[in-house]
Structure 1
Amino acid sequence: MSTYSQIYIQIVIAVNGRYSLISHTWEEELYKYITGIITNKGQKLIAINGMPDHVHILIGMKPSCCLSDLIREIKKASNAFVNEKRFIKSKFEWQEGFGAFSYSQSALNHVITYIQNQKEHHKKKTFKEEYIDFLKKFEVDYNSAYLFKWIEEED
């Protein structure tokens, strides 16, 4: 085998409608389940954490992996997992779309720390502010009409 690569991607997915449905009582189970999906697809999970309305996942990705297919599988299987476990009374579902941002090896420790400290980080910044900052930092052209649906913060 003569293919060598180092591809690091941070994935951001949001709960449909951006509702705060992921409870601290079962988030670890969800993260372990998502870890299993990623591992079973031959990719390497480096970090996972989030908030009640979104999740950050840092993976080491092989060049043969189709990122869209991997994320589709993560969402589909974890939707089914949450609903079968009846963690919430209503139907759980991830929102359409995702964010994906690439990093160099030298940035990994910073990204891992950032993901591990999500709860602390979001005491200062909303998910919407965080996500738009990512898009600007990575110089991603975007149309705000096609971003995640946001629940308007109450004043």
Structure 2
Amino acid sequence: MFNYQATVDFIEEENVYEINFSDFSELQGVSYCKEDVELEAQEILLASFAELVELRKPIPFATQTKSEATFTVYFPIICCLKIALHNAILNSVTQRIDLARRLNINAQQIERLLDIHYASKIELLEQALYILGVEASITVTPKLVDNSMN
């Protein structure tokens, strides 16, 4: 659901690593050192998602699967919950202020709850999702070694 794939190519003429996203052909980024590629990819996607939240447009789920040529862009759990909440609000046609009332919080707090760059309480995100008919669950699995970035 939130396992977005990206590719990286080293551009010798410019001495940069070019980052492209499988699900977002219009997005592109660069990193000046190999060690920062994954973090740069995450920041680019999160900035794009923050803009979609502000514009109240849906954030598409990942459609591409992992391949030899791609790496997975990691998102913190809190960001995944915020993306899911944003999409759930849009899918339910629930007004943000109505959700705020049901959560017993004010309008400013609901905006912060949806702000990808703001630290929110997981319990409140989970409750908001539940109100909208979405059940949140977390799966913990051992990480497979990703040698594509080495």
Verify same fold: TM over 0.5: no
Greater RCO, 1 or 2 (C-alpha within 8 Å, sep 6+): 1
TM-score computed with the length of structure 1 as normaliser: 0.31
Q: Could you tell me the TM-score, scaled by structure 2's length?
A: 0.32
Q: Radius of gyration: which is bigger?
A: 2
